Each structure stands twice: as structure tokens, then as C-alpha cells.
Structure 1
Amino acid sequence: MDELRRGPWWLPRLSLVAVSATGAVIGHVLATRASLEPSGTAVLGLAPLGIDPAHQGRGVGTALMHAILAAAEACDEPLVALLGAPAYYRRFGFSAAAGHGIAAPDPTWAAAFQARVLSGTVVPGRFRYAPPFDRLT
């Protein structure tokens, strides 16, 4: 995570937290710079949405998702992609990335790799997360 924060992929305006009335962090969502290859088109990769189990089912995740998508759209980002449960993310406008001409970084992810177009026309290609993710094991 430190390498990610030090690089150009880190977008502080797209790292959002939810806090309780007592000031405790109860949720987090993050989008980092990614690209579509071979064009090099800059897009976003959404990290897993994390909500404290004691606060799940109360709308915290929904609020964070709406907030990060609105922020990304306000920043004129063209597309957000993620790996996650289609039944959950569908309500936020995500659909199979392949339907947008976007290939998953790993072909075995196809069913769960999703994208949402935010603006403009997206150039098809293979999705590539920020380079620090390539070094995860």
C-alpha cells in the first residue's frame, strides 16, 4: 500500500471514509489510477468496499459507492472497473466489463469483473491495475 500511495496512481480525492457519530472509521472505498491497454487510456480501478461488520446493512456502503462514483464523474473520469459480486454492484450501474469491450486482467475473473462508463466513449482494451498491484502475491 505504501508503494501505491507514493506513486502517480494514488488519487487522494478518491479515497473516502465513512465515520460514525463518535468519529470512528466505519467504512472505506478507494479508486486508483488504472489503464486500458494497449491504448494507455487512463481509467479507475475500484478497491474492495470495506464496511465495519457492526455497521453493515445500514446504508454505509451504498453511501460510499454513490459518493465515490459522483466524485469520479466530477473529475471527468471515463470509466471505473472492479472485481466484485455482480448482484451487489449492479445497483450502482456496473455491468460485465466485457460488454464494454474491456477484458479482465485475469480471464478467470470474467464473470465478476465489471465496469461502469462515466463519460465519453471508452476505447476497448485490457484493463490494467496500477503497477504496485502486479507485485502482490
Structure 2
Amino acid sequence: MIIFEHVLQLEGLNRESVWRELEWLLRNPKLVLAGCDESSVQDTETSDGGRWLKRTKRFGDLVIEDQVALIPDSRAEIHVAAGPTWPRSWQIIRLEEAADKVLLTFSYEQENPQPSENPVFDKLRNEAYRNKDQALVDLIRQRAAQH
């Protein structure tokens, strides 16, 4: 179930250049995720040509593993297995090209989300998602300008 979704745009770039930079950043999570001390990424290809990244990210003593499905020029899906204190969740980043801009739709989903006891928590969580995604879009823009 979707718990939060929003759209950001990049003007003056095409879908291919945005995808190239997004994929590079997904392969380098330490550069994107605040507090990530170290990360490793294994790249695999399935028999049907699908591409997956298996990522391990360390935040101090906390280690989070996820898998990223790469659907070129279209979307990336980040799947996180349930942990001792969090539910199974996934994030989808969709790319659409419109005129001279690329729209990125960020969707956050959780398995069996529980209603929050405090609506301020949801507001703060969603603001953190917005800020994280805006930082990612800013990095894409910066990297695309260098290429």
C-alpha cells in the first residue's frame, strides 16, 4: 500500500541522461544516503535480461540490505525485506518525459502499514522523504551538467 507519493521534475534534461545518472547513484548508495558509512553492490542479470542490484548499506551498527530492480529509462524499484523493527517496504522511482523536462514520481509503499498514532510522525516522515528525493534530483542535475 502506498504511504506517500510525490513528483519532482528536472528541466532541460532528457530521460536517457536522467536514467544514466540515477542508475549510477543507485550503484553508489553511500554517496546518496545520509549516515551511510559504507556500502557494497552486487550486479546480477536474470535469464530474461532483467537487471538487479543487491545492496548492503551500513549505518553504524545497523546494516540494511535491499534489492533494486532496474528497468532502463523507465523505473527503479528498491525492495527492502522486513527487519526486526520495520515492515517489508519498497520505493518506486518512475521516469516520464514531458516537453523539455523529466518527471520523477517517487512512491513509498509498505506491507500492512499501521495507522500512525501521531499524525505529526507521518508529516515528518513525508518531509524527510521529500528532502531525500530532492537531494537525489539535485545530484542527478549536477552529474548530468558535468557530462
Does the alignment reach a TM-score above 0.5?
no
Q: Which has the larger radius of gyration?
A: 2
- Normalising by structure 1, what TM-score? 0.33
